[in-house]
Structure 1
Amino acid sequence: MGASWSTALASVAEKLNAGRIEWMLLGSAATALRGVAIVPGDIDIAILTADDVIRAAGVLPTPDVVGAVESGGFVPADWISTVAEPVRRFGDAGARWTFGRWYVEGVKVELAHIDAPAAAALMVETRAPLVWQERETLSCHGQAIPTVPIEVQLATMVARQQDARIDATLAGIDTGLLKVPLLRRAIRDKRSEVPGMVVPESVQGLGLK
């Protein structure tokens, strides 16, 4: 995606902040924004409420296209949010998604609210309300970027066995600033979802032993 991801992120942030939409940057863009040497494939954003995903269509560049609304619990790869269909809703009682997709400055931007009752008490990325209490505000081209805590992201990387990304992240951040209790909680809660999760030595050495 190249350097344009940060320009796109700043443009999205300006619009969401002006629209007073509660949001949080996730995924690879959140990691890269901290100076980690990875290139995001897209921009993933969590939205606090389902209604605000719909409101985002009023502030993001949504084309005035009228087409047939497809049904089914999936999102086609070529689908984007339009005036006629600003969001897709799918999932089940375990995780109900309200989802929107845009292209900003040529970069794919995906917004989602996920209602997942089983994760309500967990400190996990994307689906749980608890993580919103730990948001950090970073900056991108002068725009405020509410961002998922890196400690919670590390737990996600461990669960996904993303060893190369873990190494890049630990090399790119000041590990002395990590909140060890938060990291410990995030790993514990992620392990409740992924019982076989193995924490690598590089992460254990951050104070988890």
Structure 2
Amino acid sequence: MGTLWSTALASVAEKLNGGRIEWMLLGSAATALRGVAIVPGDIDIAILTADDVIRAAGVLPTPDVLGAVESGGFVPADWISTVAEPVLQFAPAGERWTFGRWYVQGVKVELAHIDAPAVAGLMVETRAPLVFQERETLRCHGQSIPTVPIEVQLATMVARQQDARIDATIAGIDSALLDLPLLRRAIRDKQSEVPGLAVPESVQSLGLN
């Protein structure tokens, strides 16, 4: 695994692990790390606490530049974490975000803690701390990578109707190793959040029938 995103991930992991920060890899990088044939466009990481996003700014390569940008509740496309403004905090739709963005070896890396009380008890990717209890530790260039469960990711793909990614994921993993109770719960919890969510046959055939 010698791709640019994976070497950047290993560099970030070394710093976060060394700083004893509780984190979890999400998104396309988490899927690709399992050997699925997709190329991540960036690296998305969930952080267990808001304070740890701020602590991460102390261990990641944060430039000492001025010119902090007013967020206005959203993240400007050109904003990065700096010494002057290491994180942004904003609260869209009943959630409270603590967010940081870095470029590591040319790869965009985004860290976020999302306080979302409405989904705190659900097994959903990104916004629910419950998923941290199910993290799987993978390896990348010798570094430990706490990673979102693939079962929870599949539920996210279903909700986003990412059929091509679902097919690539199923083809790239050993489906016999799936935790079916966890997959069922992740899909059920996603359905409670997204009423009317339909599960494609490709996912049902994994053992949900």
Q: TM bucket by the smaller chain?
A: over 0.9
1: distance between equivalents of 2:68 and 2:49?
26
Aligned to 1:136: 136
1: distance between equivalents of 2:156 and 2:173?
17
Instruction: Tell me how far 1:97 sits from its aligned partner.
Output: 0.4
Aligned to 1:183: 183
1: distance between equivalents of 2:67 and 2:75?
15
Q: How many residues are paired up?
A: 208
1:51 aligns with 2:45: no
Aligned to 1:25: 25
TM superposition score normalised by structure 1: 0.97
Q: Which amino acid aligns with 1:73?
A: G
Instruction: Tell me how far 1:43 sits from its aligned partner.
Output: 0.1
Deviations 1:143-184 (A, max 9, x none): 000000000000000000000000000000000000000000
1: distance between equivalents of 2:68 and 2:108?
22
DSSP-derived class of the 1:99 partner:
strand
Q: Which amino acid aligns with 1:15?
A: K
Bigger shift: residues 196-205 or 97-106: 196-205
Instruction: Tell me how far 1:3 sits from its aligned partner.
Output: 1.8
Within 5 Å, which residues of 2 pair with 1:188-207? 188-207=188-207
1:13 aligns with 2:26: no
Distance 1:205 1:68, change over 3 A: closer
Distance 1:136 1:104, change over 3 A: same
Within 5 Å, which residues of 2 pair with 1:1-209? 3-92=3-92, 94-209=94-209
After superposing on structure 2, the runs of 4+ consecutive aligned residues of structure 1 that deviate more than 3 Å are none
> Between the two proteins, what is the percent identity of the paired residues?
88
Asked if the contact 1:191–1:197 (Cα under 8 Å) also holds between the matched residues in 2, the reply is yes
2: distance between equivalents of 1:163 and 1:155?
12
Q: Which amino acid aligns with 2:137?
A: T
2: distance between equivalents of 1:203 and 1:8?
31
Q: Which amino acid aligns with 2:188?
A: R
1: distance between equivalents of 2:122 and 2:75?
27
Bigger shift: residues 198-207 or 8-17: 198-207
- Structure 1 spans left out of the alignment, 5+ residues: none
Q: Which amino acid aligns with 1:28?
A: S
Distance 1:28 1:78, change over 3 A: same
Instruction: Tell me how far 1:112 sits from its aligned partner.
Output: 0.1
DSSP-derived class of the 2:24 partner:
strand
1: distance between equivalents of 2:71 and 2:26?
27
Asked if the contact 1:93–1:116 (Cα under 8 Å) also holds between the matched residues in 2, the reply is no
Deviations 1:187-209 (A, max 9, x none): 00000111121101110011111
Asked if the contact 1:36–1:169 (Cα under 8 Å) also holds between the matched residues in 2, the reply is yes
Q: Which amino acid aligns with 2:198?
A: V
Asked if the contact 2:69–2:79 (Cα under 8 Å) also holds between the matched residues in 1, the reply is no
Bigger shift: residues 187-196 or 88-97: 88-97
Q: Which amino acid aligns with 2:30?
A: A
2: distance between equivalents of 1:155 and 1:68?
37
RMSD across aligned positions (CA): 1.1
Q: Which amino acid aligns with 2:149?
A: P
